[in-house]
Amino acid sequence: SMAILEWLDEAYPAHPLLPTDLEQRFTVRELAYANATELHAPLNLPVLQYLKQPLGHSQDEIETWYRHWLAKTLGAVEARLAQLGSDDFLLDTPGLFEVVLVPQLYNARRFAFDLSQMPHITRIEAACLALPPFERAHPDNQPDNPERNPA
């Protein structure tokens, strides 16, 4: 939740998720909220389940829905990152944007979404996943991941 992430930013100022500079905070929020509202909202599990039942959409239709919103939002984020000239992270270190982006890319791959035309996004993801906190938080490394510990 964005509320929890912003609370963490305020509760633990030694490890900020938002920069102190006003314009940089705007840019971080612009891109983080695009992911949180334009991707997470229409692609979260209750929405996908509703598309299936009671609306009766097939899994193929749901995957088409999923990829549509990924392309629309990630395409705009990639264009904005290119405009900003981002490097390994949006700013100097990972923050709110990266924390919101990386899980969306994990899910994108679950739905076979092609990220090959998004070099800024995938570079940021690779830089994040090379860091121990992101590696520890990765779904594949969670003790309750059913794929890690099959029944």
Structural domain for 25, as ranges: 21-139
- Calpha distance 79→43 (Å, rounded): 21
Q: Say if 65 falls within a structural domain.
A: yes
pTM for the whole structure: 0.89
52 Cβ contact partners less than 8 Å away, ≥ 6 residues apart: 59, 62
Q: What is the pLDDT of residue 44?
A: 87
Q: What is the pLDDT of residue 150?
A: 62
Count of beta carbons in the 10 Å neighbourhood of residue 80: 16
Of the two residues 151 and 69, the one the predictor is more confident about is 69
- Encoded tokens for 35: 């992911």
- Encoded tokens for 46: 């209750």
Sequence-ordered alpha helix ranges (H) in 18-95: 22-33, 41-43, 45-52, 59-84
Mean pLDDT of the chain: 92
- In this prediction, residues 78-87 reach a mean pLDDT of 92
For the domain that residue 129 is a member of, what is the CATH number?
1.20.1050.10
Q: What is the pLDDT of residues 114-141, one digit of tens each?
A: 999 999 999 999 999 999 999 999 988 8
- Calpha distance 121→81 (Å, rounded): 8
Sequence-ordered alpha helix ranges (H) in 85-131: 96-110, 119-129
User: How would residue 28 be classed by pLDDT, with cut points 50, 70 and 90?
Assistant: very high
Number of domains into which the chain is organized: 1
